[in-house]
Structure 1
Amino acid sequence: MDKQQLLDHAKIARERAYTPYSKFKVGCALLDGNGHVHLGCNVENAAYGPTNCAERTALFRAIADGVPRRTFQAIAIVGDTSRPITPCGVCRQVLIELCSPDMPVFMGNLSGEIEETTVGALLPGAFTEEDL
């Protein structure tokens, strides 16, 4: 699956977002080692703290479905932003915990702009299990 196809899946997931408060929809598509795509969207809550980002929804869904950590192949995120959307700090920490540091991260927006990086580049100096 190429990055555009993965971004297209993220756009589909974005439409499923539950955002009654911010109206800011984000979608994510996570490709596992078997070629399966796990979708995620942001899910808001009136208490704000329990709100979950699209990236964490996709990652947690895949882990719950039995996909072993560090076997993911790529992740794509899409939001209605002026530049390609980037994961928040919490999502960056979860990504470094569950994904390989060299895993590609495709970030896009609804205008079709795309930026590509890696999980490791998103969070230099990350706190990992080696630090415990």
Structure 2
Amino acid sequence: MAEKDLKKLIEKALDMRNSSYAPYSHYRVGAALEAASGQIFTGCNVENSSYGAANCAERTAFFKAVSEGVHDFRRIVITGGADDGELQYASPCGICRQVMREFCDPATFEIILAKSTEDYKTYTLEQLLPESFGPENLL
């Protein structure tokens, strides 16, 4: 993948933070998910006064993609941080990692934690979810 394509993906994730609904935690997260086809699906975190009804940015992006029939993914960029603070490397929660595992090859799917287009870290899903449980375990 070209570096400019990665920068565009990071910019989309950064932009999605602006759509975040985070009145309780004040921690805004944006995500940009790239399908194997190159199509991009975005998401933001959506909180709820009943905390369990909240949804993370990563899952929002995945659910949008799956609802449109897409099940094959290359990588995701995640950006996050407090309303009044600097961006952090916003690592996906355990539930999001498990959702990724449902649809992605742990060895090749990339998770990019970005503070900016110049400041980011890249991991494979396998690195962030070792010894994972996936659909093949149920066969």
**Could you tell me the TM-score, scaled by structure 2's length?**
0.86
Q: Partners in 1 of 2:118 and 2:89 — Cα distance?
A: 8
Tell me how large the CA RMSD over aligned residues is.
1.7
1:64 and 2:67 equivalent?
yes
Point out where structure 2 has 5 or more consecutive residues left out of the alignment.
Answer: none
Equivalent residue in structure 1 for 2:8, among 5, 9, 21: 5
> What is the identity, as a one-letter code, of the residue corresponding to 1:85?
A
Q: Does the Cα contact within 8 Å between 2:80 and 2:88 map onto a contact in 1?
A: no
Name which of structure 1's ranges 53-62 and 107-116 shifts more when overlaid on structure 2: 107-116
Give 1 or 2: higher strand fraction: 2
User: 1:108 touches 1:114 (CA, 8 Å); kept in 2?
Assistant: yes
Give yes or no for contact 2:79–2:87 (8 Å, CA) kept in 1.
no
**Structure 1: tracts of 5 or more residues without a match:** none
The structure 2 residue matched to 1:35, chosen from 30, 34, 38, is: 38
- Once the two structures are TM-superposed, the CA of residue 130 in structure 1 deviates from its matched residue by 2.5
1:126–1:34: structure 2 CA closer, same or farther, 3 Å change rule? same
Partner of 1:119: 125
Q: 1:21 & 1:111 partners in 2: Cα distance?
A: 28
Query: After TM superposition, which residue ranges in structure 1, 4 or more long, deviate above 3 angstroms?
Result: none
More helix by share: 2
Q: Sequence identity, in percent?
A: 41
TM-score of the aligned structures, taking structure 1 as reference length: 0.90
Residues matched between the structures, number:
130
